[in-house]
Amino acid sequence: MGKDAGLDKSIRVRILGREYALRVRPGDEELTRDVAAYVDGKMQAFQQAHPGQSELTAAVITALAIAEELYSTWEEDDAVDEALDALADRLEGALSTPEATGDPAAGNSETTGKEASAPTD
């Protein structure tokens, strides 16, 4: 099986006025077009801000900017994962206490289904 296995859909995208033919997996056309449009927008913005720079410079700086966005997203994901792990640990700890398990010796009648009531006379 070749490295292009499954890439049997051809599409064309335009970046900085140049058209590129790409082979993609069926169903990935829209994603690839969206990504190409994103890259094109970033490169156009760079060229508008720095009109004297070459397309190669625009491509390299744009690639670095997009890579930085990706790394920032990864760092945010890692921070969220750590926060969720800490919360899960706290929940497990809270649920393993006698009060949370409904241990009658702990005095938690709510989870045992028995309600304490005052005598009625």
What digits encode the pLDDT tens for the residues 28-66?
Answer: 999 999 999 999 999 999 999 999 999 999 999 999 999
* Helical H segments across 50-115, by residue range: 55-95, 98-101
Query: Contact, 37 vs 29, CB < 8 A?
Result: no
| Within a domain: 3 | no
Please tell me the predicted confidence (pLDDT) of residue 68: 97
Indicate whether 55 belongs to any domain. Answer: yes
Domain membership flag for residue 118 = no
Is there a domain that residue 81 lies in? yes
Q: Per-residue b/e over 15-40, b at no fewer than 16 CB within 10 Å? A: beeeeeeeebeeeeeeebbeebeebb
Question: Which structural domain, as residue segments, surrounds residue 71?
Answer: 9-98
Predicted pLDDT at 115 = 52
Residue keyed to tokens 């508008």: 48
Count: domains in the chain: 1
Does 45 fall in a domain? yes
Return d(Cα 22, Cα 24) in angstroms, integer: 6
Residue 37 lies in a domain: yes
